[in-house]
Structure 1
């Protein structure tokens, strides 16, 4: 298993073998920067498709489908052993529960506010991980720029719905915890086995909420197909593209490209969901993008 940690972006776990690697080989001829950008687009298109599914399965139901399908696929691919010590199980459970909570809160956020706004606010999580603990004044400036961007985003044109903002902030906290727990998971498990078990915990957390909101709609063939599309767009395709790109470009370049996610999310919301942002809110989005790029570009290399 490759654990990817870039300053200002989340850690993502990419398998060395199996369907993900096979899919990645198909993109070998594409320039690595284009691979990363295509992955970013895929994630945000997946979120837009998920939001359109809310009318049938609800936000919690959509999350449940995504996590359950992902758990089934990962268990089939990795076939993890259950013979683990208690501390390893604790790490796996913690990681999975944070992953589930992150998805639940983020989908609730985009239920109330535009996709671009939700991703911008949520991006404060990985950005905080990148700058907290640093004593350099420059990192403090990046944090202030991001905070100013989010403040502007929430106050322009009557502001955003408070529940959506609060859910997005909760998702940001979960994203930060996800990054921190990923290192512990990587040190205690190998390949994708730990991730497969963690996904079970995440799905178990989401399941009661999904059943309560969607009920038998979760078994509807059309809803299941749409849920599979969300899982494909949000997980399989971007992870395959990122794995191939990381073989060819430095991690810091990867992190800078990933910092474009809030802007891409805003564009996806505009094109696919007809969610328009006020011009000042676009400025706010780019403030957060600039802060993330700056924090990634100027961060001290790890030793």
Structure 2
């Protein structure tokens, strides 16, 4: 009987892990579908309006579920939460503004340089230099510098990457000082509060467009709420290192969805650049040695 139970238990582990992997893939797909949905509202309310609605939707869902004890927070806990809130808004706004200028696939790929940089800087292996070189080559292949290139769009993507890197570092501090996910929920609420006047002004300054609002709300659900819940579930089933590797599929999904749904065609060189950055990110996660394995973090 003991052997039978052991066999069942050991058989359940692969199924549990497979379920976690499937959840992460679904999370990545949902994230990029949300970004694509939000981009459909750009002509009406712009990236700023989409991000404002997205932050409000995320806060409206997350705060009632988590119910952070805000009155019990000390200043030592509040200051990283406030910085995290600013990073939330900056990261999403720059990403969406970049998507508007250079397309979903390229913008998301450039944003992934943020977690890649954190992973490379925390690695103790010399072979991580290979990942850095591959990522650099990927950036050159994506941008293909010439006079007609949209350098503003590239710059916004890189600012989003820096913001994601800061998010990872700040999230570690918040996680150490505040129990559970109360800090993340509080930061989401602060970010939504900052964007509330923006949403009011944008929506009040023009006739309401039901389709644009629906697309922006869909972005909040698909790109914030569902991925966050899915990531929490997946992290209970797969190692954090595997989580980081699987996150690398996001730029691939972004490029495919951008091409199929938004008709944002990429040339061979740009696809090669995406592949190089994805490979560099996956390699950096696998090469991390002697460091606590932490998640990249959902982009609320």
Same structural fold, with TM-score higher than 0.5 when normalized by the shorter chain? yes
Query: Gaps (5+ residues) in structure 2?
Result: 1-15, 293-300
- Report what 1:69 is aligned to: 57
Bigger mean CA offset, 270-279 vs 132-141: 132-141
Match of 1:128 in 2: 117
- Matching of residue 146 in structure 1 with residue 127 in structure 2: no
- Give, in angstroms, the shift of residue 264 of structure 1: 1.2
Q: Deviations over 1:170-191 (max 9, x none)?
A: 0001000000000111122223
Partner of 1:183: 172
Q: 1:151 to 1:214 in 2, by over 3 A?
A: farther
Structure 2 match to 1:37: 25
Residue 233 of structure 2 corresponds to 244
Q: Structure 2 vs 1, CA of residues 253 and 192 (structure 1 numbering), >3 Å: closer, same or farther?
A: closer
Contact (CA 8 Å) 1:57, 1:218: kept in 2 or not? no
Q: Secondary structure at the match of 1:132?
A: helix
Instruction: For structure 1, list consecutive stretches of 5 or more residues without a partner in the other structure.
Output: 1-27
C-alpha separation in 2, matches of 1:194 and 1:36: 23
- Paired with 1:214 and 1:208, the residues of 2 have a C-alpha distance of 10
1:160 CA displacement: 3.7
Task: State the partner residue of 2:94.
Answer: 105
Give the equivalent residue in structure 2 for 1:10: none
CA contact (8 A) 1:218 1:224 kept: no
Deviations 1:199-219 (A, max 9, x none): 122224434555555544596
Aligned to 1:256: 245
For residues 133 and 285 of structure 2, what CA distance do their matches in structure 1 show? 15
SS class of match (1:137)? coil
Deviates more, 1:118-127 or 1:192-201: 192-201
Of the structure 1 ranges 69-78 and 201-210, higher mean CA displacement relative to structure 2 is found in 201-210
Pairwise CA RMSD of aligned residues?
2.4
Q: 1:29 to 1:119 in 2, by over 3 A?
A: closer
Cα distance in 1, alignment partners of residues 200 and 122 from structure 2: 41
Residue 250 of structure 1 deviates from its aligned partner by 1.9
**Residue-pair matches, total:** 277
Further displaced range: 152-161 or 241-250? 152-161
Query: What CA distance in whole angstroms lies between the structure 1 residues aligned with 2:75 and 2:85?
Result: 15
Distance 1:168 1:74 in 2: 27
Residue pairs, 1:1-303, within 5 angstroms: 31-83=19-71, 84-155=73-144, 160-211=149-200, 213-216=202-205, 221-302=210-291
1:106–1:210 Cα change, 3 Å: farther
What is the distance in 1 between the residues matched to 2:255 and 2:273? 11
- 64-73 or 197-206, larger mean C-alpha shift: 197-206
Q: TM-score, normalised by structure 2?
A: 0.84
Secondary structure class of the residue paired with 2:282: helix
- Decide whether the 8 Å contact of 2:28 with 2:247 is kept in 1: yes
Distance 2:63 2:209 in 1: 23
CA–CA distance in structure 2, aligned partners of residues 116 and 251 of structure 1: 25
